[in-house]
């Protein structure tokens, strides 16, 4: 029984602790991140960290701050930051966040808590939206944001460190099917591009064996230098049209696919 209690206690303590990101490598953050694949998105959720506090001396006191970043890649391209901000009670509430000079109203994740002993503190549980593009741009420098009383104020200032953001992106990249493909090209996948892949594969399957080989050879050679397209059937022309509609990444995937699907 005692062992059970100790085990459960340790789980609770571990789950409650936020990591100090200083000195942690992006690979370590990548390892601890959790990846979820949905219908039209992939979400990578990092471990809970203590964001870097850059709040100026303005009478505000951060007692603790804990942040969990959920990197969202897909159609929505809106990531979320769950921030638990505990500060010395000053009878003010902070409902606004600013990222790259853009203000937004913070979503309250659960009821604000006031806790008093010798000191009184307020803990606000916030949910902040972040454009995934902003995170991509912050991969090397980190992302600074502020938490404010109104959209005209600048009150608490924090930074999500670059090693944390880099770690989540690395986790995404390593899980993705296309090796050695930079994230900024992967995340630009769109519905139209998927259609290009689909149609290319459709018309490729309509070709006879001879034209399939001819197309595959042309496609591989033309990836290195520009070549005039080969003459052939109407189906080959349609295949060429949709292949040109595909992105570079998709074309690379299609070349690999074509070689493996010859008649």
Burial of 71 (0-12, 13-18, 19+ CB in 10 A): buried
Task: Give the residue with the Cβ less far from other proteins, 58 or 185.
Answer: 58
- Sorted by sequence, the CB contacts under 8 Å of residue 236 that are 6+ apart come out as 203, 207, 211, 214, 215, 230
Q: Which is nearer to other proteins, 93 or 263 (CB)?
A: 93
User: Between residues 111 and 140, which has the closer beta carbon with respect to other proteins?
Assistant: 111
Q: How far is the CB of 150 from other proteins (least distance, A)?
A: 8
Give the DSSP letter of residue 132: H
Provide φ and ψ at 102, rounded to 5°.
Answer: -110, 125
Residues in contact with other proteins by the rule CB under 8 A: 1, 4-5, 8-9, 11-12, 15-16, 50, 57-64, 86, 88-93, 108-111, 113, 115-121, 123, 149
User: Strands of 102-105's sheet, edge to edge?
Assistant: 52-53, 156-160, 143-148, 96-99, 102-105
Nearest-approach distance from CB 174 to other proteins, in angstroms: 22
The CB-of-175 to other proteins minimum distance in angstroms stands at: 19
Nearer to other proteins, 156 or 203 (CB): 156
Minimum gap (Å) between residue 61 Cβ and other proteins? 5
Least distance in Å: CB of 195 to other proteins? 33
Q: Is the Cβ of residue 53 or residue 190 nearer to other proteins in the bound state?
A: 53
CB atoms within 10 A of CB 200: 27
User: Considering just the CA atoms, what is the radius of gyration of the chain in Å?
Assistant: 25
Phi/psi at 97 (nearest 5 deg)? -125, 150
């Amino acid at each position: 029984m005692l062992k059970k209690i100790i085990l459960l206690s340790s789980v609770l303590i571990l789950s409650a602790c936020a990591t100090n990101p200083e000195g942690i490598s992006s690979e370590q953050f990548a390892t601890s991140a959790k990846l979820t694949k949905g219908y039209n998105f992939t979400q990578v959720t990092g471990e809970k960290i203590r964001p870097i506090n850059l709040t100026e001396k303005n009478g505000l006191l951060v007692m603790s701050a804990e942040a969990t970043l959920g990197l969202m890649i897909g159609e929505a391209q809106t990531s979320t930051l769950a921030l638990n901000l505990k500060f010395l009670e000053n009878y003010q509430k902070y409902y606004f966040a600013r990222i790259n000079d853009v203000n937004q109203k913070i979503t309250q994740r659960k009821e604000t808590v006031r806790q008093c002993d010798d000191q009184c503190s307020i803990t606000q549980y916030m949910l902040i939206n972040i454009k995934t593009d902003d995170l991509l741009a912050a991969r090397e420098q980190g992302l600074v944001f502020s938490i404010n009383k109104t959209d005209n104020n600048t009150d608490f200032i924090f930074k999500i460190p670059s090693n944390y953001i880099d770690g989540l992106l690395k986790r995404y990249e390593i899980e993705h099917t296309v090796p050695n493909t930079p994230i900024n090209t992967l995340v630009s996948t769109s519905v139209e591009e998927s259609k290009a892949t689909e149609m290319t594969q459709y018309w490729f399957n309509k070709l006879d064996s001879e034209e399939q080989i001819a197309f595959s050879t042309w496609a591989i050679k033309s990836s290195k230098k520009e070549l005039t397209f080969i003459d052939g059937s109407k189906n080959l022309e349609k295949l060429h049209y949709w292949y040109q509609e595909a992105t570079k990444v998709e074309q690379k995937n299609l070349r690999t696919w074509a070689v493996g699907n010859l008649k």
